[in-house]
Amino acid sequence: MGGNRDPRGLIVGNYCHDVLIKDEVVLAETLGGAVSFISAVLDGLDIASDYVSKVGSDFAYTANVNHTPIVSPSGKTAVFHAYFTSDPSEIRREDRVLKRVEACDPISPSDLPDEANFSFGMAVGIAGEISPETLERMLDTCDVVLVDIQALIRDFDEIDGTVKLMNLKETGFYHLLPRIGFLKASAEEAPYVDIQEARKSCCVVVTSGQDGCTVYWKDVELQISPFSTVQVDPTGAGDSFLGGLVAGLVHGLAVPDAALLGNFFGSLTVGQIGLPKFDSKLMQKVKDEVQRRKMQCDEHDDESRFKKPRDHEQFIASLRNAKLVTTDEVLDSEPGYPNHQMFLKNSVYEEPIKTMDTKP
């Protein structure tokens, strides 16, 4: 993805309305959808992309998004209800339950741009809006496609919409696995993917919250360091991670360095309330560090790009230093934070939300 031509991405997935409920009381209604968090990272790092998202005419956050979605006049915006509990005996990250109570129209292959020269694509569906045919069209039109596994394995209870997970092999996407460049899954989603099989043909990245992430590729297995942070709101951490990973790859970094950049943006996101606001000074420092890192490293072939480059630890230190610059100042400078965002005090949760399903 770090070729000579200017990179341009294709990001596919719907926005949604999230309703956060604690002890049967509605705490907040927020803007949701992986594209919201991914665009915050890519826009902040000046990575040009086309976004294909669908909403209904009832979409409440038109003024809050940088990329205008397709409006389905006869449809509604996808809605999720997330259920939390404050019972001390039940506060575990897997004890929040997610239900899809409204589904938007799916994104069809014909909704995608006609051009066929995107340097990368991201399939980041949240509510079953991406079909195998749409993913296949992305694979045809993008040099490399990165997929969030939730776009492929989420299923929904027919009665109340409770999110369930299914084995990747049981979906209509499994035959496309050899064409996928990168597959991202959380530690909770990973059991639904045969990692040992998937790593033979694509790079699998498993995120583990405060433990960082693990990169699997053929016979390579790398643990990538996390960044310590005070967790305020875990929403969107995995999406921001994916945005950071892509940003690193677009700039020509080796996969371990790109995954480190993903951990960095994930840590910034959980330290803020709702959609993250990345200070322009911070983003400039990150861009400078990434450019410096790119110049320090040699060109990567297919094998060497999955090895930790020399001075990987120095890149960690540089990003930690950049993080110290403005993180606190961003929060302190926003006393009138938009009320569509929320603060989950003492939250111990991480994405994804608990699913009501059987073991794989």
Q: Which residues does the annotation mark as catalytic?
A: 239
- 3-state class of 318 per DSSP? helix
Q: Could you say which DSSP state residue 232 is in?
A: S
Please name the residues in contact with 247: beta carbons below 8 A apart, sequence gap of 6 or more: 41, 42, 45, 47, 258, 261, 265, 290
Write the burial class of residue 209 (CB in 10 Å: 0-12 exposed, 13-18 middle, 19+ buried): buried
CA distance 123 to 130: 8
CA distance 163 to 179: 27
Which residues does residue 146 pair with via DSSP β-bridges, in sequence order? 122, 182
CA distance 336 to 327: 17
Per DSSP, the residues of 65-115 read -SSPPEEETTS--EEEEEEE---TTT--GGG-EEEEEE-PPPBPGGGS-S-
* E strand or H helix at 50: strand 49-52
Q: 25-57 burial by CB neighbour count: b if 16+ within 10 A, else e? A: eeebbbbbbbbbbbbbbbbbbebebebbbbbbe
Q: 59-89 burial by CB neighbour count: b if 16+ within 10 A, else e? A: bebeebbebebeebeebbbbbbbbbbbeeee
